[in-house]
Structure 1
Amino acid sequence: MEALLSARGFLPLIILFCVISSLRDGNAARLMGKGLSDQKLDNSSSDKSTPTFNVQSYGAVGDGVTDDTEAFQSAWKAACEVESASAVLEVPQGYSFMIQSLMFSGPCKCGLTFQVDGVLLAPDGPKSWNKQNSENQWLIFYKLQDFTLQGQGIIEGNGEKWWELPCKPHRGPNGTTLKGPCLSPTAIRFFDSSGITLRGLTIRNSPQFHLRFDGCKSVLIDNIVINSPALSPNTDGIHVSGTQFVGIYNSLISNGDDCISIVSGGANVDIQNVTCAHSHGISIGGLGNHDSQACVTNISVSDVVLRNSDNGLRIKTWQGGHGSVSGVSFDNVYVDNVRNPIIIDQYYCFTKGCHNKTNAVFVSNVDYSNIRGTYDVRSPAMHFACSDSIPCTNITLADIHLVPAEGQMMASPFCWNAYGATQTLIVPPLTCLLEGQPQSIIQGSSDACSY
């Protein structure tokens, strides 16, 4: 498999993704142990007895130019009110529907399926955006239960003109950022919902985050593709905030920011068989910004590939925050030309003007096993920069084999106030971890995180 990954380009990544997918099955079943309800994995829209609401029956044109927002709103209302059986809202193949920012609000009477087999188009840039609806969200799903968003279609965010705003990173002279309005919309946002399933879709070119969950519970994401250019700013693939019991499986994400980001309130998140390309890696954080509390627990990442990325497996926190990150495991991960394959950074900061602070988010019980591949020696393969006052504890590593890309000289790992142990011989040698436990940790550093 390493020989397969050594070739450059996107095609080897897709081939690898397909090979891994063929070797695994039943990933969704693992969610059962984490409290998710059983959910069907059949991607068909409905049988003949299921009430189906085709958006074209409500006036949608689907020519890619006409504003079809009102038709979608009417079709949603009708499907949401069905009482006798689960309904299907149908977006047919072969058509492109341009819609403005729109909230699909519940609760609906029964479980509802949104079947997208055509193309959904966002307005083309800020000048085409209807600010009367929402300036920073496009497709909004609110207060839904047992809801499925699926299909073979494309959700196109038309983000190019948003990325070129002067306030975006590196758009000003000499790589600076200019001041100005910069409320770029997230493509798809779920909040205050439960029993959510997404599968089969392609989501691309979001102005900002592609897929975001806030205050949700029981989420299954399976077999989706997220795609935007490497230099598209702030285009996180999947963002999890205040959301518990999440499964992310069998998906391919290539974007310009975090492949998957988990922030405060994220708990019981299982990530398997995901491939990330030219991203900022799988990130827990940033946490604790503006001296806030941040709590993240029980995160499992396994059978993942990361290629040509700035970061691999990252935990990032701001100084001055409080709370905790605990119960994190990374297992069976392949990295190909990744700048920071393994990194804990408790000095995360956007500028050079951040000051040392006493408080910090407490990071403990983080396990790394079977992490292999190549890294860019501009940074060490392993980087553990923990708070001066609140050390990282119980970091364990086993079966780590990371070598420089293209035969460069191996860089030594970096540790600062990090406690842990290596359970096997690892490459490169890691001798800077402190043994045992620190003599004291500020009481209350975890600040009673509860989930």
Structure 2
Amino acid sequence: MKFTLYTLGLLVAVASAADIYNIEQLEAAKKAKDKNIVLKNIQVPAGQSLNLETNLKPGTTIEFAGRITFGFKTWDGPLVRIKGKNLNIVGKPGHVIDGEGHRWWDHKGQRGNRKPNAIYVQLENSKVNGLYLKNAPAWGFSVNGCKNVDFTNINVDNKDGHTKGALNTDGFGVAASRNVKIMNSRVNNQDDCLALQSDCDHIYFDNNVCEGGHGIAVIGGYGNPKPITNTFIRGCQVIKNNIGIRVKTMRGGKGLIKGVTFDNVVLKDISEIGIVIIGNYLNSGPRGDPTGDLPIHNLVINNVRGNVLKNGTNHQIWVKNAKNWKWNSNVVGGTKKMPCQGVPNGLKVEC
């Protein structure tokens, strides 16, 4: 009898999950303080975000279990907004968050029509696992103000955009965050796989695959002068991107990049430059001499290896006030040479 009662109780607990098929049901479930919300085949109205931030109790589990779609509107988005503490965000097998980005893509990216970013995340002490984002109109995941958050088994699939006019579809943009881990994930897109920006500490980008885009980027001085520290990019593959890995600081910017490590990163068929470290970045490309007010310290390049296509460049370095670097790379194949300027004394880099 005890076993039967326990089983019945378990069935009741499972049945109490709120299955959500529209925005109205979602709002009702949040007001009812449901702690297990299952999203199924929701059509989000044009110009609205799928709101997963207000009225969510700590400890809530949100499961994506169907196809989530969005009405068309030229706006900034995001299509999905996730915010809270102690949340568990889960993508179930067969689900898709379908941005249907082809409705916005115009070959111009941010310079064209307004396009919504896909998923904005501001979480603490939470986990995001197994989400499948397909054809984001613009940025994929905007990770902002997060603390102690794990992202695992994420798939950002924008490969349709290679032939349908997508640009500026960054996979993960991370800013103002602490102790964030992005692991065992895959990005196929038309911009940075990872764009790590100012005011970040202890960011881990481990065992991820980046395909088709602009590589893995650490960007100092973009938006504010707060430093980027203790960043670890390990065990990743960068396949058929135009850039492999890069650390770039804004020309005229202020701040510091300190303690960035690239370890065991494989580059395959990079079309332009394998490793880029520059201190004179502008959105239009490197311009003039680095100003040196945003130096790169304690940079580690270890076991970064692979190939650049013919007419590409293996390494490009143009920095000022850099110090305490360690360098071990084996990037080959590029025939276009660029000078190395500002390499710390005693370090040998083949440019």
The TM-score normalised by the length of structure 2 is 0.86
Say whether residues 1:225 and 2:155 are aligned partners. yes
Structure 1 residue 105: Cα displacement: 2.2
Instruction: Name the residue aligned to 2:230.
Output: 298
**CA 1:421–1:99 in structure 2 vs 1: closer, same or farther (change >3 Å)?**
farther
**Equivalences for 1:131-146 in 2 at 5 Å?**
135-142=76-83, 144-146=84-86
Distance 2:132 2:178 in 1: 24
Structure 1 residue 225: Cα displacement: 0.9
Which string of whole-angstrom CA distances, capped at 9 and with x for unpartnered residues, describes residues 113-156 of structure 1? 11111111122453xxxx6xxx43111123x1111111221111
Picking from 128, 133, 137, the partner of 1:203 is 133
Distance 2:185 2:285 in 1: 36
Instruction: Name the residue aligned to 2:209.
Output: 275
Instruction: Name the residue aligned to 1:52.
Output: 17
**CA 1:350–1:203 in structure 2 vs 1: closer, same or farther (change >3 Å)?**
same
Instruction: Name the residue aligned to 2:3.
Output: none
Picking from 96, 99, 106, the partner of 1:154 is 96
**CA 1:323–1:107 in structure 2 vs 1: closer, same or farther (change >3 Å)?**
farther
Root mean square deviation of aligned Cα: 2.5
**CA 1:220–1:97 in structure 2 vs 1: closer, same or farther (change >3 Å)?**
same
Structure 1 residue 414: Cα displacement: 3.0
Picking from 419, 430, 447, the partner of 2:349 is 430
2:70 maps to a residue whose letter is A
Instruction: Name the residue aligned to 1:314.
Output: 246
Structure 1 residue 312: Cα displacement: 1.2
Contact 1:99 1:123 in 2 (8 A): yes
**CA 1:208–1:416 in structure 2 vs 1: closer, same or farther (change >3 Å)?**
same
Distance 2:343 2:185 in 1: 33
Say whether residues 1:395 and 2:325 are aligned partners. yes
Contact 1:125 1:160 in 2 (8 A): no
Contact 1:394 1:421 in 2 (8 A): no
SS in 2 for 1:74: helix
**CA 1:47–1:215 in structure 2 vs 1: closer, same or farther (change >3 Å)?**
farther
Instruction: Name the residue aligned to 2:28.
Output: 74
Instruction: Name the residue aligned to 1:98.
Output: 43
Structure 1 residue 373: Cα displacement: 1.2
Contiguous gaps of at least 5 residues in structure 1? 1-45, 61-67, 170-176, 423-428, 433-451
Structure 1 residue 108: Cα displacement: 3.2
Structure 1 residue 325: Cα displacement: 0.5
Identical residues among aligned pairs (%): 22
**CA 1:76–1:376 in structure 2 vs 1: closer, same or farther (change >3 Å)?**
farther
Picking from 130, 142, 146, the partner of 1:216 is 146
Instruction: Name the residue aligned to 2:4.
Output: none
Distance 1:395 1:48 in 2: 59
Contact 2:315 2:350 in 1 (8 A): no
Instruction: Name the residue aligned to 2:7.
Output: none
Instruction: Name the residue aligned to 1:187.
Output: 118
Structure 1 residue 379: Cα displacement: 3.7
Contiguous gaps of at least 5 residues in structure 2? 1-9
2:26 maps to a residue whose letter is F
Structure 1 residue 293: Cα displacement: 0.9
Contact 1:107 1:145 in 2 (8 A): no
How many residue pairs are counted as aligned between the two chains? Answer: 331
Structure 1 residue 269: Cα displacement: 0.9
SS in 2 for 1:298: strand
Distance 1:266 1:105 in 2: 22
The TM-score normalised by the length of structure 1 is 0.68
